[in-house]
Amino acid sequence: MNCSGCYTAIVTPFRNNAVDYAALEMLIEKQIAAGVAGLVPVGTTGESPTLSYKEHDEVIEFVTKKANKRCQIIAGTGGNSTAEAIQLSQHAAKIGADATLQVTPYYNKPTAEGLYRHFSIVAEKSGLPIVLYNVPGRTGREIPVDVVARLSKHQLVIATKEAGGSVDRVNAILDACDITVLSGDDSLTLPMIAVGAKGIVSVASNIIPKQVSQMVEYALNGNFSQAYQIHKKYYPLFRDLFIESNPIPIKAAMADMKLIAEEYRLPLCEMQSDTREKLRKTLAKLGLI
């Protein structure tokens, strides 16, 4: 499997505390029509921590079946329990996902050897390609570069999503091994591609999929001048979608755009009035509302 382009970390819309599958189907169709390379259901943006195991499986199955091979599906099936990640990943394999996204095990802070064994066995037991997900701000543990390099030799470890805010780390990874790197931060997509990344797992593409896809395509083709124009225009959006914890701002923006109901599950809740107003001003300036 080749990972390249814009992958949308799709939100999980709720209505009356249940998954809103009608809204989710509409979002899937909009994404595919806009030409995204793939969808990433039930990742951080999909509020994986508050979905039940049953919902987790059902959302991934719904997205995979509705996409119907029209784009790649990288299912969010990570966890800090290896057995749990295996169980979720085996279900993703059974229903036809193309790959899984495996977050660094959080809270229990495994050693480098523990990380290597965790990712390796999840790949082997599921039989699906995996994308490592390095996000130390949420997990409390970075995947060491030498562990990424060691894992890159595994035939099922195909990429790493880098959401640690460091372009230099992309340099270090690509200096150490041959693995596909995807940016995990919309605002760092261009600099990461400039040093060798192949795309983005995007939050912003929930609302501007065509624009993010075009920016990535320009950059991958070496047309950084055109790519930068898109980046410059939408940088305020990239910034303000993280003004509070993701996915709160993106769901607020999508609610303002009448795409979904504005509903979260605790401990996530609605935005503060001042930050919500700042986000609305950015959306209005860009003509999105």
Calpha distance 100→57 (Å, rounded): 13
Q: Write the pLDDT tens digit of every residue in 204-227.
A: 999 999 999 999 999 999 999 999
Domain boundaries, the chain: 5-224
pLDDT of the residue at 147: 98
Give percent above pLDDT 90 in the chain.
100
Query: Is 54 noted as a catalytic residue in this protein?
Result: no
Calpha distance 99→68 (Å, rounded): 14
Peptide bond into 129 cis (omega under 30): no
Calpha distance 164→192 (Å, rounded): 12
- pLDDT band at 249, cuts 50/70/90? very high
* Mean pLDDT, rounded, of the chain: 97
| From the candidate CATH numbers 3.60.10.10, 1.10.10.10, 3.40.630.30, 3.20.20.70, the one assigned to the domain spanning 5-224 | 3.20.20.70
Q: Are 154 and 162 in contact (CB under 8 A)?
A: no
Residue 66: closest CA among 41, 91, 48: 41
Q: Write the pLDDT tens digit of every residue in 103-131.
A: 999 999 999 999 999 999 999 999 999 99
Residues 6+ apart with CB under 8 A from 52: none
Calpha distance 11→171 (Å, rounded): 30
Q: Are 281 and 252 in contact (CB under 8 A)?
A: no
Mean pLDDT (whole number) for 54-82: 97
**What are phi and psi for residue 257, nearest 5 degrees?**
-90, 5
Query: Is 21 noted as a catalytic residue in this protein?
Result: no
Backbone region of residue 26 per phi and psi (left: phi > 0; alpha: psi in -120 to 50; beta: other values): alpha
Kindly name the residue from 161, 198, 234, 251 that is annotated as catalytic: 161
- Evaluate if residue 193 carries a pLDDT over 90: yes
Indicate the residue type of 140: G
Kindly name the residue from 133, 218, 234, 251 that is annotated as catalytic: 133
- pLDDT band at 93, cuts 50/70/90? very high
pLDDT of the residue at 203: 98
3-state DSSP call for residue 129? coil
- Tell me the C-alpha to C-alpha distance, in Å, between residue 255 and each of 11, 47, 118, 197, 262: 12, 16, 37, 32, 5
Mean pLDDT (whole number) for 245-273: 97
Mean pLDDT (whole number) for 153-177: 97
* Strand positions, DSSP E, the chain: 5-8, 14-15, 18-19, 38-39, 72-76, 99-103, 130-134, 157-162, 180-183, 199-202
Token pair listed for 205: 């593409």
- Evaluate if residue 1 carries a pLDDT over 90: no
